[in-house]
């Protein structure tokens, strides 16, 4: 049997909460896809667990087998309706913090007044999240933040994305090995999937580490032009253009949101898409 490990972002990927229209049949067909026996569904999102659960109900999304939350810093397995955290992942990424606490990192970055700490619900032991105005000198601030964290001895990744409805920048400071890319690779090996059996779908800046990697990835059509350009240039630089698929509008359901995900599955796993008569 052909197996597929489908890892997908939520907001503006399978959740149609961007400004572009959604095909009325897209989510229904997505639910049909995820009901296939050979498909294992993983949500990979910046949302925390409670917001993931709310979104599943509010947007009538299929229940996942696993949920990667908080931009890759937590993994949950859904077992008979119970969300069980995989603590082995927390142990693995903890070493990047070099024993430093969330509070110590926060104090070290107080030098930058443009960084506004996000709500407590958006923080955890290995995720320090800020708002940053889109007008801010991003390159200068990122360089200063990286320098400060290096002096502190912390091995970190800075993940940038944009909250489109609020038109505000989002900066997540994560352990170096806690990006969406690292957590998908962790799950792939943990669950025993081959490289050609993994597909990722996303739309935003915090999806770029995966989109420019060797992992088979689809960028939905409603992604911002800047992200599309960064994904293409990053994939070229890394020699991974073969692994990046850009969803197109000439698909029967269009290319926005869940329709783009379906289109990517049809491209990378045509035998699975054929079962749903996708075209």
Q: What is the mean pLDDT for each group of 10 consecutive residues in the chain (279 residues)? A: 91 95 97 95 95 97 97 93 94 93 94 95 93 95 96 93 88 93 96 97 93 98 96 98 96 96 95 71
Residues 196 and 62 in one domain: yes
What does the alpha-carbon distance between residue 185 and residue 190 come to, in Å, rounded to a whole number?
8
Residues 156 and 182 in one domain: no
Q: Give me the number of domains the chain comprises.
A: 2
Predicted local distance difference test score (pLDDT) of residue 279: 56
Question: To 5 degrees, how large is the angle CA 92–CA 47–CA 266?
Answer: 90
Residues 215 and 84 in one domain: yes
What does the alpha-carbon distance between residue 183 and residue 106 come to, in Å, rounded to a whole number?
24
Residues 84 and 220 in one domain: yes
Question: What is the DSSP pairing of strand 74-79 with strand 116-117?
Answer: unpaired
Residues 187 and 72 in one domain: yes
Predicted local distance difference test score (pLDDT) of residue 1: 52
What predicted TM-score, i.e. pTM, was given to this entire model?
A: 0.90
Burial (CB count <10 Å: 0-12, 13-18, 19+), residue 78: middle
Residues 270 and 182 in one domain: yes
Q: From 148, 175, 202, give the residue that closes a domain.
A: 175
Predicted local distance difference test score (pLDDT) of residue 245: 98
Task: Output the CA–CA distances (angstroms, integers) from residue 270 to 29, 96, 154, in the order listed.
Answer: 15, 39, 43
Going by C-alpha positions, the residue among 256, 194, 198, 223 that lies closest to residue 25 is 256
Residues 171 and 186 in one domain: no
Range(s) of the domain holding residue 28: 4-90+178-275
Question: CATH no. for residue 160?
Answer: 3.90.1070.10
Residues 134 and 261 in one domain: no
Residues 105 and 168 in one domain: yes
Predicted local distance difference test score (pLDDT) of residue 278: 65
């Amino acid at each position: 049997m052909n197996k597929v490990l489908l890892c997908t972002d939520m907001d503006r990927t399978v959740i149609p909460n961007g400004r572009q229209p959604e095909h009325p049949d897209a989510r229904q067909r997505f639910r049909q896809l995820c009901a296939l026996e050979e498909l294992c569904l993983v949500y990979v999102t910046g949302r925390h667990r409670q917001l993931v659960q709310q979104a599943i109900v509010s947007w009538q999304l299929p229940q996942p087998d696993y949920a990667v939350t908080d931009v890759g810093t937590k993994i949950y397995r859904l077992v008979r309706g119970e969300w069980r955290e995989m603590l082995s992942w927390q142990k693995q990424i903890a070493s990047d913090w070099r024993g430093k606490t969330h509070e110590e990192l926060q104090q070290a970055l107080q030098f930058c007044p443009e960084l506004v700490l996000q709500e407590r619900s958006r923080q955890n032991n290995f995720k320090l999240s800020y708002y940053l105005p889109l007008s801010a000198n991003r390159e200068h601030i990122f360089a200063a933040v990286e320098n400060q964290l290096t002096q502190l001895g912390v091995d970190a990744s800075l993940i940038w994305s944009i909250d489109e409805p609020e038109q505000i920048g989002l900066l997540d400071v994560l352990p170096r090995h806690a990006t969406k890319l690292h957590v998908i690779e962790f799950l792939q090996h943990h669950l025993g999937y081959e490289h050609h059996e993994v597909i990722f779908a996303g739309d935003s800046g915090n999806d770029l580490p995966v989109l420019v990697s060797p992992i088979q990835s689809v960028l939905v059509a409603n992604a911002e032009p800047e992200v599309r350009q960064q994904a293409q240039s990053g994939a070229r630089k890394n020699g991974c253009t073969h692994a990046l698929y850009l969803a197109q509008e000439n698909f029967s359901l269009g290319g926005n949101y869940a329709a783009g995900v379906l289109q990517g599955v049809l491209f990378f796993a045509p035998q699975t898409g054929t079962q749903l008569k996708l075209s």
